[in-house]
Amino acid sequence: ATLLVRDEPTNHLDIPAKEILEEALQHYEGSMLLISHDRYFISQVATTIIAVEDKALEMYSGDYKYYLANRPELAEQVEARFIAGDSREIGSAKVVEVQAEDKGSRKKSFGGGGGPSGNKDKGVKNAKRMN
């Protein structure tokens, strides 16, 4: 049997990388033990939730939404963390139009023209210090 163990696998990832990881884990054929505070990530990849509750393991055969549905007191705690009275919705966010730049007009500069540090003579200086 194959067991994949990941502790907070999304902490250092940007959104596209998270999506790639989610898709890879959705197609993973073995068992997984994932520890994460990212509720959206858990709902995308988990098919069974095992929670540590009152010094015991409780198993819920379903995703994170199923787990919350079967734990109304926990769902209330999670909902209480939201800002009270905030009625903003994603659909009401301001739309900003971005104009595409002509890529041929400017050449991007990412630093010096030397080696990894941009300084061609750095290796020589370091060698002189050692003598």
More confident residue, 123 or 28: 28
Nearest to 26 by CA among 50, 46, 8: 46
Q: Report whether 25 contacts 7 (CB < 8 A).
A: no
Q: Which two tokens stand for residue 125?
A: 């200086």
The DSSP line for 20-57 is HHHHHHHT--SEEEEE-S-HHHHHHH-S-EEEEETTEE
Who's near 76: CB < 8 A, 6+ residues apart? none
Say yes or no to pLDDT of 122 above 60: no
Say yes or no to pLDDT of 119 above 70: no
Who's near 83: CB < 8 A, 6+ residues apart? none
Could you tell me the pTM of the whole model?
A: 0.55
More confident residue, 63 or 20: 20
Angle at 110 between CA 106 and CA 112, to 5 degrees: 115
pLDDT at 54: 87
* Residues 28-79: tens digit of each pLDDT: 988 999 999 888 899 899 999 998 888 999 999 988 888 888 888 888 887 7
